[in-house]
Structure formats: structure tokens, C-alpha cells
């Protein structure tokens, strides 16, 4: 379902955004390369103070590569939900207004719950669907008030399955930002960490790189779905291997 969103949503006129919370990042020396004058390598102290942690809220649009970030020292629902709502409101305002004939049918929403063992109960009245939001399957992401707000604004949440957070492309952009912000650095405070992420996100958005769904895992799953077992004598094949019969005694 999430793979389908990445590959077909644009053709349906839907925007796909991914949400995730990165961290916590500590105020410790981070390994990695850094730019330094020749002959003057970076040196970190052998003693340091753990001066708190920071987390980074992330919204990422794979189609154009743009990212929205917000730093925080803690991310309870009281912090996460207002930020997501505020950012999605701005995102929706920037999208083209839906035409009067826009599809507001229940089928347009139900499509993105096809095959789920426990689909979300949709409200009786729904606006036209405009955004698909990929996010992890956490309790805070499934609170009724938050989910109903998403529905009321034309946003369909797509939750990654258990052990399936790799389906969330926000994790990929977070790794890029983390590497650029912290590798080879020694932030002194949570505020320093947050400022570094803000700076690299601004630099990234100056020339963003779109992300396309694929890679080794997707190719491996495709091969598994398309796997066939050849049957001798013709071009026939089966989806399941045919068990071979062997004699009771070898060599007979």
C-alpha cells in the first residue's frame, strides 16, 4: 500500500509526505569526517559533559525532495501534533484548490486501506482526498483527535507495519541531514544540535534532490512476487515448486 502511494499517487493528483521523529541526538563528539585546514585535524576532548539531547521532527516530500524540520528537546503529543497540523495546513494551502468535481467518495479513501487487517473507521462525511501521509505506527500517531483532524483536512494517514519503518522515506532524509549536521562535530547543547539541523535543512532545500522508491529491497520483493518454477518439456512454469518423487533406494 505504501509502495503504491510512492509510485502511483502523483498520477491520481495526490501529494505524498512522510513524517518521522529523528533522535535523540546527544551532546557528545560524533564520529565522522569534517572540513579542516590541512595539517590541523579536528580534535575532540577526551572528557565531555552530556548536556541533554535533542530530537528533530521531520516532514519530507519525496516527489520534489523538500523537507521541513523542527527541533525539540522532547516530543510528546502536545508538541508533535500542533507542529504536524501547522505544517500540513501550510502544505495544503500551497496545493492547487480541488475542483468542484473533485472525488470525495468513500471509495477514494478506502483504496488506501485495502488489505489492512484493522482498517481505520472513516467518518460519515469526507472531503476530497488531497494528501497521503506516511508515518510510523505509534500510539501517538493514532489518537482519535489527531486522526479525525487529518480526515477533516483531506489527509489520509498510511501507517508503516510492525518492523516496517524502512518504508518511511523520512528516515532516509534524516540520515542525510544527520550526517551533514553532526558527523565530526561536538555540539555543546541541544540548541546547538537544533541549529545545525536547521542550517543543513535550509541548505538542502536550496537545491533539493527528489527521492524515487526502489532499491535492492524493492527489487528483491518484486523478484519474489514474480518467481516461477520451470516445468521441463515446454515453456510452462508454476508458482509453487512441484515435489519430486524419489525411489526408496538410491541408485535404482
**What pLDDT, on a 0 to 100 scale, did the predictor assign at position 229?**
67
Predicted TM-score (pTM) of this structure: 0.77
Handedness of CA 65, 68, 71, 76 (dihedral sign): negative
Q: What is the mean pLDDT of residues 167-191?
A: 87
pLDDT grade for 203, boundaries at 50, 70 and 90? very high
Report the chain's C-alpha Rg in angstroms.
24
pLDDT grade for 204, boundaries at 50, 70 and 90? very high
pLDDT at 232 over 50: yes
Between these two residues, 69 and 187, which has the higher pLDDT value?
A: 69
Dist. CA 50–CA 213, nearest whole Å: 38
pLDDT grade for 121, boundaries at 50, 70 and 90? confident
Mean pLDDT of the chain: 82
Between these two residues, 78 and 116, which has the higher pLDDT value?
A: 78
Q: Please name the CATH architecture into which domain 2-206 falls.
A: 2-Layer Sandwich (3.30)
pLDDT grade for 167, boundaries at 50, 70 and 90? confident
Cβ neighbourhood burial of 216 (10 Å; 0-12, 13-18, 19+) = exposed
For 29-72, what is each residue's pLDDT tens digit?
A: 776 666 667 777 666 666 667 778 999 999 999 989 999 999 99
**What pLDDT, on a 0 to 100 scale, did the predictor assign at position 80?**
93
Domain positions in the chain are 2-206
Cβ neighbourhood burial of 206 (10 Å; 0-12, 13-18, 19+) = exposed
Q: What is the mean pLDDT of residues 142-155?
A: 92
Please list, in sequence order, all residues whose beta carbon lies within 8 angstroms of the beta carbon of residue 55, skipping any fewer than 6 positions away: 21, 22, 23, 24, 25, 71, 72, 73, 74, 75
* DSSP 8-state assignment for residue 68: E
Dist. CA 68–CA 54, nearest whole Å: 16
**What pLDDT, on a 0 to 100 scale, did the predictor assign at position 67?**
95
Dist. CA 190–CA 188, nearest whole Å: 7
pLDDT at 225 over 80: no
Amino acid at each position: 500500500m505504501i509502495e503504491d502511494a510512492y509510485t502511483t499517487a502523483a498520477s491520481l493528483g495526490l501529494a505524498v509526505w512522510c513524517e518521522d521523529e529523528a533522535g535523540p541526538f546527544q551532546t557528545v563528539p560524533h564520529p565522522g569526517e569534517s572540513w579542516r585546514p590541512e595539517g590541523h585535524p579536528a580534535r575532540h576532548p577526551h572528557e565531555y559533559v552530556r548536556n541533554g539531547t535533542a530530537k528533530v521532527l521531520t516532514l519530507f516530500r519525496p516527489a520534489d525532495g523538500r523537507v521541513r524540520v523542527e527541533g525539540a528537546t522532547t516530543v510528546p503529543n502536545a508538541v508533535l501534533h500542533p507542529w504536524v497540523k501547522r505544517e500540513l495546513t501550510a502544505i495544503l494551502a500551497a496545493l492547487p484548490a480541488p475542483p468542484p468535481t473533485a472525488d470525495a467518495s468513500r471509495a477514494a479513501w478506502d483504496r488506501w486501506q485495502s488489505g489492512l487487517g484493522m482498517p481505520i473507521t472513516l467518518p460519515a462525511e469526507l472531503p476530497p482526498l488531497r494528501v497521503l501521509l506516511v508515518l510510523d505506527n505509534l500510539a501517538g500517531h493514532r489518537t482519535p483527535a489527531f486522526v479525525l483532524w487529518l480526515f477533516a483536512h483531506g489527509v489520509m494517514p498510511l501507517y508503516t507495519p510492525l518492523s516496517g519503518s524502512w518504508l518511511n522515506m523520512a528516515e532516509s532524509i534524516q540520515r542525510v541531514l544527520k550526517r551533514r549536521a553532526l558527523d565530526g562535530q561536538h555540539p555543546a547543547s541541544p540548541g546547538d544540535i537544533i541549529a545545525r539541523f536547521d542550517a543543513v535543512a535550509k541548505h538542502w532545500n536550496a537545491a533539493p534532490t527528489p527521492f524515487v522508491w526502489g532499491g535492492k529491497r524493492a527489487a528483491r520483493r518484486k523478484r519474489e512476487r514474480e518467481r516461477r518454477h520451470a516445468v521441463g518439456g515446454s515453456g510452462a512454469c508454476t508458482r509453487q515448486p512441484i515435489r519430486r518423487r524419489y525411489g526408496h533406494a538410491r541408485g535404482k
